[in-house]
Amino acid sequence: KQEVTQIPAALSVPEGENLVLNCSFTDSAIYNLQWFRQDPGKGLTSLLLIQSSQREQTSGRLNASLDKSSGRSTLYIAASQPGDSATYLCAADRGSTLGRLYFGRGTQLTVWP
C-alpha cells in the first residue's frame, strides 16, 4: 500500500509570502504524483501532475517537484494571495496501470491580507 504524508497539516501566513508544502510517499515506483486544491466542502481541482519521468511542473505561481529516490514532492507557491487559502492535497499512485490514487491528509493553508 502507498502511504502518503503531508507536512505541515496547517499553515497560516501573511499575503505575499513564498510557501513550500511537503509531501512524502513510501512506494517510489509511482507513475503519477498529483497536487490538488480543495475548498471547504467542495470538489478536488487538479493543480499539477508530475509523471514519473519528470522532475517538476510549473503553472503560474505554482511549481511542483518530484524526487522519486527520496519519496518526496514539494509544492512551491510564490507570492501567496488570500485567494490561495484552501486545503492542498497530494496523491500518488502505486506504479501500476490500475491508477488508484493514495491521498495525503492535506495541508490547510490560510493566507491573510
- Distance, in Å, from the CA atom of 27 to the CA atom of 38, rounded to the nearest integer, reads 24
> DSSP characters for 73-113?
EEEEE-S--GGG-EEEEEEE--SSTT---EE---EEEEEE-
How far apart CA 105 and CA 23 sit, in angstroms, is: 10
Answer yes or no whether residue 106 interacts with another protein by CB under 8 A. yes
| Segment interacting with another protein, rule: CB under 8 A, options 12-20, 24-32, 59-67, 68-76 | 24-32
Minimum CB distance to another protein, residue 30 (Å): 8
Q: Are 101 and 44 a contacting pair, CB within 8 Å? A: no
State the nearest-atom distance from the C-beta of 79 to another protein, in Å. 26
- Segment lying near another protein (by CB under 8 A), choices 10-18, 43-51, 57-65, 74-82: 43-51
Is position 103 an interface residue for another protein (rule: CB under 8 A)?
Answer: yes
Find the shortest distance in angstroms from Cβ 16 to another protein: 29
